[in-house]
């Protein structure tokens, strides 16, 4: 959504304009102290957890092949970065490629499903089957059929990520306000216009909720599929490096790979939440602070 | 500023704009929503459809707007040979709820009917601003609906209905969800605009007092089956204001209308 440039009219726009019905309060902003606390509290919590971890390992003399201390893991993260960084890149590529295809495919299929109840009747059972079958169970088949391991991983991640986008967007497209649909009919809107100007914007909050789920699932599926595929070698992702570290009892590196995965997941979640917030903050209830 | 008049210059006052001829509507579940309703709406009239819930007043209004076809009978637009039902631009419709797009600014909401006809933002701007000025919201073009009060949302909705300069303005209990004070203010404003611009308005309401205050003619309807039972001309002069609302004539019209409505309720067994 782009905001409208009102030109000269904007200069007159003033929320304090004299009028008999007063507008609702402007979007409330958070006080500064709360903003600081919102950043500070999670950071303090993180520091405390790492401190507890370091203390436990030192106090009880835990061997590093069972639980390495945070210092060892950090060292490993730096020392093994060439290997882990490459693996991360591979995993990220699969994750984002799968997510991108899932978004396009999910939205396109949702539009198709809601355009005709016959198409919905014909296709939706297969969508459900695709969703409920564990991806680990179909991964071996996909590995056989797919031209390369990378494309097999992509297909697995896509299957998992695409369903939340599809089901949420479908729900959103069906939840359009009936009065607004009547209004569009009254003004002779074409199907295309109704889709662009009404149904898609109305489905946006639902789609964004799907995106947040799909973002996390795409990463999980990329890792799980790689486990299932048992791929190995230089072109492998973080999942292979995890397994490899386990076989070699290189537990610090295993932890380092795990931390990279966690961080990636958190960043994806944060990014999708931010996108959602930016798109909805002006109008949707979910993005507005309640003030009583 | 040019005045947005709805009636075409050729249409003399009192010339019929639309005729409902013996229309009936039966829903798929067998409910008879409306039975044999006939009504001629003339240019410049302010007609209220008054009745209890289930009397088919909203159904009649929606069919006038082209939302749903009558099961029998016909709706005739004498000035408009091509289209049998109200086509785009002929009709402005105000729903009971403001029915605004929450993701769009006030400007974009009012621009919508023109946008759907392919009129660009720049080309539509003068008309959008004119419509917003009429309802006193020209300073809120960039606001989002959630930032407005209930009364202001309704004003945006009215501005959107007026932006196409419709031949006839249909209002389906537009102020029913508002508080009494806001409602009275909007009634006054609507009446002032109607007196100024001479639109044709069909106004659905279940309030006797509102219908008498606003209308030049009240169509009293009854439920089960939905039908017209009375028509009352309100000949009180304009401009109407607090003077009319407190006059003896107003009380007399309200009494007469209430009696008519009561006989309708008596005719139906229960409410």
For chain A, which residues make up each domain, given as ranges? Answer: 29-61, 65-287
Which of A4, A27, A186 lies closest to B65 in CB terms? A186
Residue B247 falls in which region: left (phi positive, over 0), alpha (psi -120 to 50) or beta: beta
Q: What does DSSP say about strands B201-205 and B46-50: parallel, antiparallel, or unpaired?
A: parallel
In the numeric block, the tokens 């939340």 are attached to A164
Give A-chain residues touching B122 at CB under 8 angstroms: none
**Inter-chain CB proximity B185 and A20 less than 8 Å:** yes
A224 near A97, Cβ under 8 Å? no
Sheet of strand B32-42, all strands in order from the earlier edge strand to the far edge = B32-42, B16-26, B72-76
Q: What is the CA radius of gyration of chain A?
A: 25
Question: What letter would DSSP give residue B245?
Answer: H
> Would you list the domain boundaries of chain B?
16-90+169-267, 104-165
Q: Is the pLDDT of residue B257 over 80?
A: yes
Which of B67, B117, B149 lies closest to A186 in CB terms? B67
Sheet of strand B46-50, all strands in order from the earlier edge strand to the far edge = B91-94, B168-172, B201-205, B46-50, B217-222, B227-233
CATH number for the domain whose boundaries are A65-287: 1.10.3720.10
Closest-CA residue in chain A for B66? A186
Q: What does DSSP say about strands B168-172 and B91-94: parallel, antiparallel, or unpaired?
A: parallel
Q: What is the pLDDT of residue B235?
A: 87
Helix or strand holding residue A87 (H, E): helix A81-115
Q: What is the pLDDT of residue A275?
A: 93
For A239-275, write each residue's pLDDT tens digit. Answer: 999 999 999 999 999 999 999 999 999 999 999 999 9
In the numeric block, the tokens 């002006």 are attached to A282
Q: What is the pLDDT of residue A186?
A: 87
Report the pLDDT averaged over residues B175-186. 87
Minimum distance, in Å, between the CA of residue B96 and any CA atom of chain A: 9
| Matching CATH number, B16-90+169-267, of 1.10.10.10, 3.40.640.10, 3.40.50.300, 3.40.50.2300 | 3.40.50.300
Question: What letter would DSSP give residue A23?
Answer: P
**Inter-chain CB proximity A12 and B138 less than 8 Å:** yes
Enumerate helices (H) and strands (E) in chain A, giving the number of each: 12, 0
Cα–Cα distance, A107 to A172 (Å, whole number): 11
Report the pLDDT averaged over residues B206-227. 89
**Inter-chain CB proximity B67 and A22 less than 8 Å:** no
Ranges of chain A with pLDDT below 50: 1-21
Report the pLDDT averaged over residues B188-207. 89
**Counting one residue from A and one from B, how many pairs have CB atoms under 8 Å apart?**
110
**Inter-chain CB proximity B148 and A282 less than 8 Å:** no
Q: What is the pLDDT of residue A136?
A: 84
Give B-chain residues touching A208 at CB under 8 angstroms: none
Which of B87, B101, B144 lies closest to A201 in CB terms? B101
User: Which candidate, A85, A100, A94, A107, places its Cα nearest to that of A135?
Assistant: A94
pTM: 0.80
Report the pLDDT averaged over residues B165-180. 88
């Amino acid at each position: 959504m782009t905001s409208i440039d009102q030109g000269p009219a904007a200069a007159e726009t003033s929320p304090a304009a004299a009028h008999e019905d007063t507008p609702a309060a402007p979007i409330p902003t958070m006080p500064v102290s709360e903003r600081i606390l919102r950043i500070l509290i999670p950071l303090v919590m993180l520091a405390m957890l790492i401190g507890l971890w370091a203390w436990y390992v030192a106090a009880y003399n835990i061997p590093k092949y069972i639980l390495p201390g945070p210092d060892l893991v950090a060292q490993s993260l730096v020392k093994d970065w060439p290997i882990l960084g490459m693996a991360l890149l591979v995993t990220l590529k699969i994750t984002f490629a799968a997510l991108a295809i899932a978004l396009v495919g999910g939205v396109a299929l949702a539009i198709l499903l809601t355009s005709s109840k016959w198409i919905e009747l014909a296709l939706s059972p297969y969508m459900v089957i695709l969703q409920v079958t564990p991806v680990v169970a179909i991964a071996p088949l996909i590995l056989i059929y797919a031209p390369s391991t990378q494309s097999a991983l992509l297909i697995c991640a896509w299957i998992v990520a695409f369903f939340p986008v599809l089901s949420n967007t479908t729900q959103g497209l069906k939840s359009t306000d009936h009065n607004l649909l009547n209004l569009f009919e009254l003004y002779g809107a074409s199907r295309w216009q109704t889709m662009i100007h009404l149904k898609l914007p109305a489905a946006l909050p639902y789609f964004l909720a799907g995106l947040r789920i799909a973002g996390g699932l795409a990463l999980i599926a990329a890792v799980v599929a790689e486990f299932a595929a048992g791929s190995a070698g230089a072109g492998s992702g973080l999942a292979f490096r995890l397994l490899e570290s386990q076989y070699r009892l290189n537990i610090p590196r295993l932890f380092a790979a795990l931390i990279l995965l966690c961080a990636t997941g958190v960043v994806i979640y944060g990014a999708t939440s931010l996108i959602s917030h930016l798109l909805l903050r002006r109008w949707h209830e979910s993005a507005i602070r309640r003030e009583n | 500023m040019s005045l947005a008049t709805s009636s075409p210059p050729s249409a003399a006052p009192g010339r019929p704009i639309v005729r409902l001829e013996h229309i009936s509507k039966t829903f798929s579940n067998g409910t008879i929503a409306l039975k044999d309703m006939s009504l001629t709406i003339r240019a410049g009239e302010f007609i209220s459809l008054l009745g209890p819930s289930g009397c088919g007043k909203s159904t009649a209004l929606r069919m006038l707007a082209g939302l749903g076809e009558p099961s029998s009978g016909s709706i005739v637009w004498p000035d408009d040979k091509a289209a049998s039902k109200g086509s785009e631009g002929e009709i402005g419709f105000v729903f009971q709820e403001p029915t605004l797009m929450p993701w769009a600014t006030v400007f974009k909401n009012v621009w919508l009917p023109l946008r759907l006809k392919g009129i660009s933002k720049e080309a539509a701007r003068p008309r959008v601003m004119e419509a917003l000025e009429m309802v006193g919201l020209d300073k809120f073009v960039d606001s989002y609906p959630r930032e407005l009060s209930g009364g202001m949302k309704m004003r945006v909705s009215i501005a959107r209905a007026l932006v196409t300069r419709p031949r006839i303005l249909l209002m389906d209990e537009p102020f029913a969800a508002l508080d009494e004070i806001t409602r009275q203010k909007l009634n006054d404003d609507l009446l002032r605009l109607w007196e100024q611009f001479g639109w044709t308005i069909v106004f659905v309401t279940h309030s006797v007092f509102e219908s008498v205050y606003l209308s030049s003619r009240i169509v009293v309807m009854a439920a089960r089956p939905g039908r017209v039972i009375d028509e009352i001309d309100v000949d009180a002069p304009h401009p109407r204001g607090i003077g009319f609302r407190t006059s003896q004539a107003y009380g007399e019209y309200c009494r007469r209308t209430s009696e008519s409505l009561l006989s309708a309720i008596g005719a139906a067994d229960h409410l």
